[in-house]
Structure formats: structure tokens, C-alpha cells
Structure 1
Amino acid sequence: MPASFVVLRQTGHDQFEFVAEVERRPGLPARKARRAAIVAAIGGEPAAGETYAAILRSEWRIGFDW
């Protein structure tokens, strides 16, 4: 299975909602790959004041083990 990002949008203090799951673009450094995933998930650049997170799917799943 190819690596992918889970993209989340911040909706409040310490609150996030799922936006999309996006495949990681090969060849990009980590920060650029995360940014590309967010842009792909929302169909463009985030509006001023919006906060998004892109978390590797493998890390997302591990996070629920605790």
C-alpha cells in the first residue's frame, strides 16, 4: 500500500475534523509532501486563519494504540 496522509482541519481549540486521505507524492521532502497533501485535499490553498494538519496514515493508526 502506498504511503498516504490523513488531512485534518482544526475546528476549535484542540479539535480537528477529518478532511481526506491523500496519497503521498514521491520525491518530495516531508514538509513539501505534507503541504501538497493539504492543497490536494482542500482543492487549493488554505484561507487565511485556517489550520490544517497532514499526518502519515501509519502514524495516525499508531496514535490510537495509546
Structure 2
Amino acid sequence: PLAEQYTKLLNKAAQFGLVQQDELVLENYVARKAVDGLYLMIAEEEKSIRKDPLGAAGKLARKVFGG
């Protein structure tokens, strides 16, 4: 499967110091990228809130309380 091919390729790359040890396990890599994506979405939301705090609060209140 693909995961095995990924592991073989990265093990060869690790021999030359091209890859960090935690990237050798596909599940670790995928989990880290998912967390990175989550933080990116949080940062974008925070940026929009900081741009218009009153508007963001109003949108949040409408979402929570309906309206």
C-alpha cells in the first residue's frame, strides 16, 4: 500500500539526513498537518474578529441566539 511505500522512501531519505525522525511515521505526519491546518483556520478567524470586533460579536450572538 501507499503507506508502506511512503515509509520505505522516507527511511532512505532519513539515511542522508533529509527527513526528520518524526516524519517517518505517516500517521504522525498526517496528524501534525491536520493540527497545522486547524491553527491556520483559527488564525484566519481571529484576524477577521480583530478586523471588525463589533461585527464579529454580532455575528456570533446571532449564531448562538438565532436571529
Q: TM-score range by the shorter chain?
A: under 0.3
Who wins on radius of gyration, i.e. which is larger? 2
Structure with the higher helix share, 1 or 2: 2
User: Which structure has the higher relative contact order (CA within 8 Å, separation 6+)?
Assistant: 1
Q: TM-score, normalised by structure 2?
A: 0.25
Q: What is the TM-score normalised by the length of structure 1?
A: 0.25
